[in-house]
Structure 1
Amino acid sequence: MIGKGTKLYSILRMKCPRCHEGDFFEGHPYNLSTMGKVKSHCPKCDVKYSIEPSFYQGSYYVVYSLGVALFIGIWVLKAILFPEAGPGILLLSIFGSLVLLSPLLYALSKIIWANLFFTYEKEITNKKIVNSQND
């Protein structure tokens, strides 16, 4: 269902959007020293991740959308599970989830943004394997 070749595979595994093999980020989203740092090139297919200067500023639109989706999801869950809870509980749960999930949302926004501009190329992966076997 979510195999190689789909955008969702690249997003959920945080892999290169072009070859789905190399890592996209320098480290884990919750590692504060490397949080949100995108590698300059893919270690497998050697694609340059930053097409132009300030390329990832467009990911701010994506992180805003993810934040709105999170807000709506928490609001619906609160309405279903705790209908008698007041607006203070809703505010605290939204604020708490945003604080806890902000590094993940930041990383997801960058990989989603990159997947809008790069397409999966199966031939790239096969060429790299063939070239490394011939060497």
Structure 2
Amino acid sequence: MKCPRCHIGDFFEGHPYQFSTLGEVKQSCKNCGLKYSREPGFFQGSYYVSYALGVALLVTLFILKLIFLPSLAYLTTLLSMVIILVFLAPLLFALSKIIWINIFVNYDSRFKK
């Protein structure tokens, strides 16, 4: 959850589970000066990443259910998946934003102090 260019400065205003600052990205990196919001609406593309992370999580949970708990009822499986997804949603939201900006900004060791 650090700056994609220098890996030193913080990317988010707060922790992913701090609901007062949920998903708020800082304006720029204090270490290298990288402006995080590259254009208006830049992070709307992270919704696709968030969707992919959610689907990957649910598919993984379903496969684990088939391997380790094959006799578990599907309603119980569905409810447990929804509960897990609700608890991990802030983390997936934060991860999707950091993954999205890392697609467009490369690490540069020159900015490491």
Question: Would the TM-score normalized by the shorter structure come out above 0.5?
Answer: yes
Question: Cα deviation per residue 1:1-33 (whole Å; 9 max; x = unaligned)?
Answer: xxxxxxxxxxxxx11000000010000000000
Task: Note the aligned Cα RMSD (angstroms).
Answer: 0.7
Work out the percentage of aligned pairs sharing the same amino acid: 57
Give how far 1:53 is off: 0.2
Alpha-carbon distance in 2 for matches of 1:26, 1:43 = 12
The one-letter code sitting in structure 1 at the alignment partner of 2:88 is: L
Matched, 1:47 2:47: no
The one-letter code sitting in structure 2 at the alignment partner of 1:61 is: Y
Alpha-carbon distance in 1 for matches of 2:32, 2:22 = 23
Alpha-carbon distance in 2 for matches of 1:47, 1:119 = 11
Number of equivalences: 113
Residue in 1 that maps onto 2:46 = 59
Give how far 1:81 is off: 1.2
TM-score under structure 1 length normalisation: 0.82
The one-letter code sitting in structure 2 at the alignment partner of 1:76 is: I
Give how far 1:89 is off: 1.3
After superposing on structure 2, the runs of 4+ consecutive aligned residues of structure 1 that deviate more than 4 Å are none
Give how far 1:119 is off: 0.5
Higher RCO, 1 vs 2 (CA within 8 Å, ≥6 residues apart): 2
